Amino acid sequence: MEPIRETMKRVVNAPSFSERYDAMKKEVLEHPGVLKFLKQHEEEIDGPTVEKGMGKLYEYIDQSHDCNKCPNLGGCINHLKGFEPNLVLERGNIGISYTKCRLKTAEDNKRHASSLIHSMYMPKEVMAARIENFELDDRRLPAFRAVDEFLENSTGPDSLPEKGLYLYGKFGTGKSYLLSAVANELAEINVKTVLVFVPEFMREMKQAIGDHTLQEKIEYVKKADVLMLDDIGAEAMSSWTRDEVLGTILHYRMAERLPTFMSSNFSYSELAHHLTYTQRGEKEDLKAARIMERIETLTVPVKLEGENRRNK
């Protein structure tokens, strides 16, 4: 039997192998990334070092760089999915290190942003809203400008305007969508937002008395960096939900100067009327006025007009 060393020598010296190796070596040494690396380390790398590191150099050029060979993160061709190779010099030898690629960075950023938004009973399609997809016309422009101004003045969790917006208008004009779009924009600057669909939230608060989670849930909502109360006024308001739940949340946020957004089919005056009358028909002007004072302190009213887009 022929010794393995002799076999390897014969294979390596075979014309076909030699030609393929020369072609591979030429491809490697003409690669822009390799040329740049060798230029940067020309005083440290000699011919034998290049020859010894040819396997690593080929491994480098055979992969995707700046995601140029990958259709998406799932289709990444690299040895470590989501990471791209970088040539390095390690103790005089050529090696490879891996760093996160731009597709994985974008995906991780997206996941991080999603983790900063806590939705309570909001539809999934609304939660995917983006500012750039908000359809503009003359009637919707004032609301868009108000939102844009808030975002322009928001630079991070510790630098937010004290007042949020009270978006009001007819059913289906895009108020919930715009709230969610703002939440997604704020997540890009690491601001945590809690979005609450008020009618369902109030129903859960009544159930929370029985399972002893009422205080915990109120604490969570009232302390959010940014709180968005969607469809306020659509709930069947009792004295208890108005004063002990809504009132408690708004009082804390007013005292702590935490930005709060709201959406409603009612204007301020119409909401005041709604809050005045309880489910039992009791008229409580003073208590309603207290809630409205907090709402007016926390928000700037902006009317969002337009057609009902849910019927399009």
Q: Write down all domains in the chain, each with its CATH number in brackets.
A: 31-103 (no CATH), 116-311 (3.40.50.300)
Residue 112 banded pLDDT, cuts 50, 70, 90 = low
- Calpha distance 109→220 (Å, rounded): 24
pLDDT above 70 (res 292) = yes
Q: Does residue 4 or residue 238 have the better pLDDT?
A: 238
Give bridge partners of residue 300 from the DSSP assignment.
165
Q: What is the pLDDT of residue 238?
A: 85
pLDDT exceeding 70 applies to what percent of the chain? 91
What's the mean per-residue pLDDT of the chain?
Answer: 87
**Whether the model pTM is above 0.75:** no
Residue 1 banded pLDDT, cuts 50, 70, 90 = very low
E-state strands within 223-310: 226-230, 260-264, 299-303
Residue 9 banded pLDDT, cuts 50, 70, 90 = low
pLDDT exceeding 90 applies to what percent of the chain? 55
- Mean pLDDT across the stretch 86-107? 89
- Mean pLDDT across the stretch 99-117? 73
Q: What is the pLDDT of residue 237?
A: 78
Q: What is the pLDDT of residues 28-66, one digit of tens each?
A: 889 999 999 999 999 999 999 999 988 899 899 999 999
Q: What is the pLDDT of residue 11?
A: 45
Q: What is the pLDDT of residue 123?
A: 75
Q: What is the pLDDT of residues 118-151, one digit of tens each?
A: 877 777 777 788 999 998 888 999 999 999 999 9
Q: What is the pLDDT of residues 220-279, one digit of tens each?
A: 999 999 999 999 999 877 889 999 999 999 999 999 999 999 999 999 999 999 999 877
